[in-house]
Amino acid sequence: MGIRSYQRKFKRMNRRELLKLAPVLALGAFAIPKFQEPLLKKGLAFSDWVSARMFRKGHLATTFADSELTPFPKFPINGYDVDDPQVDFDTWTLTTGGSVQEPGEYTLAQIQTLPKFRQNTRHVCVEGWDVIGRFGGARLSDYLNMIGADLNAKFVTVECADDYYESLDMETALHPQTLLCYEMYDQPLSRVHGAPVRLQIPTKVGYKQAKYLTDLKVTNVLKRVGYWEDQGYSEFYGL
């Protein structure tokens, strides 16, 4: 064989090696509009699946000294719609239903008969900012026990006075730091921060911590996940 045929052989070998990189082109599917959305949804769902596996029910979020608190006036007020949905405190109840033995209308006074817990924890927003706040309220797990909730159900869902809605996995709902929060910085929760009762969950990102609760349900089926989740945000987003 002459040099030429060796060089041709070398070229062919190079071409074969180049073709072996074809799997890289598979990523091109992300550039095709038709495949892009379902692929990204799958990626996000996988991340959520890993997140749920990472969650440890006994592991507590870090708590902070009073000196580390963000001053109350600098605690951001984040609403998606209105800051104050004009809740009438005199008639307010938490409408409770779903897989519970004692569904009904629960008043703030009834929630406040449960042991009160106070915690200085970090609030992390999906946007990237974080603050350390002081929160007080009843453990959601105590409330779920009081209403005789089926603790083997998968989700706790809430609805809010501003038409916001959210859902929580049962493991997080039963976490000892997950509060039905009615106090901030040792004062009754203010309207703009979600009075009379909001969720406060140091193991979740901010948007899962719904304000101005009106309804709470224990369920195995989610018709909708949450206001932001249904627009494409992470469903689990545990910290």
Partner 1 sequence: MQEAVLEIMSEKGDTVTTAVYEHPLVVRLCHWLNAISLFVLAGSGLQIFRAFPSFGPKVPQHVLINWPKAYAIGGWLGGALQWHLTFMWIYLVTGLVYVGYQLFSGHYRQVLFVPKDIRGLWPMVRYYFFFGRKPPVTEAYNSLQKQAYTTAIGLGVLSVLTGLAIWKPVQFSWLAWLMGGFHYARIWHFLVMWAIIAFVFGHLVMVVLHGWNNFVSMLTGWKKNPEYGPR
Spatial distance between the Cα atoms of 124 and 1, rounded to a whole number of angstroms: 70
- Pick from 102, 105, 130, 186 the residue near partner 1 by CB under 8 A: 130
Dump strand ranges (E) for the chain.
94-98, 104-106, 116-124, 130-139, 155-160, 165-169, 179-184, 187-188, 198-200, 213-219
Any idea what DSSP says for residue 207?
G
Closer by beta carbon to partner 1, 27 or else 109: 27
170 closest CA partner among 121, 239, 104, 218 = 218
58 is an interface residue for partner 1 by CB under 8 A: no
What six digits make up the tokens of 93? 């109840």
Binding residues for partner 1 restricted to 140-199, rule: CB under 8 A: none
17 is an interface residue for partner 1 by CB under 8 A: yes
Residue 40 CB, nearest approach to partner 1 (Å): 4
Q: What is the longest distance spanned by two Cα atoms in the chain?
A: 98
DSSP bridge partners of 158:
166, 216
User: Contacts with partner 1: how many residues (CB under 8 A)?
Assistant: 54
Closer by beta carbon to partner 1, 53 or else 223: 53
Closer by beta carbon to partner 1, 136 or else 202: 202
Q: How many residues are recorded in the chain? A: 239
80 is an interface residue for partner 1 by CB under 8 A: no
Q: Which residues sit at the interface with partner 1, rule CB under 8 A?
A: 2-3, 6-7, 10, 13-15, 17-18, 20-21, 23-24, 27, 30, 39-44, 46-47, 51, 54-56, 59, 61-62, 70, 73-76, 122, 124-131, 202-203, 228, 231-234, 238-239
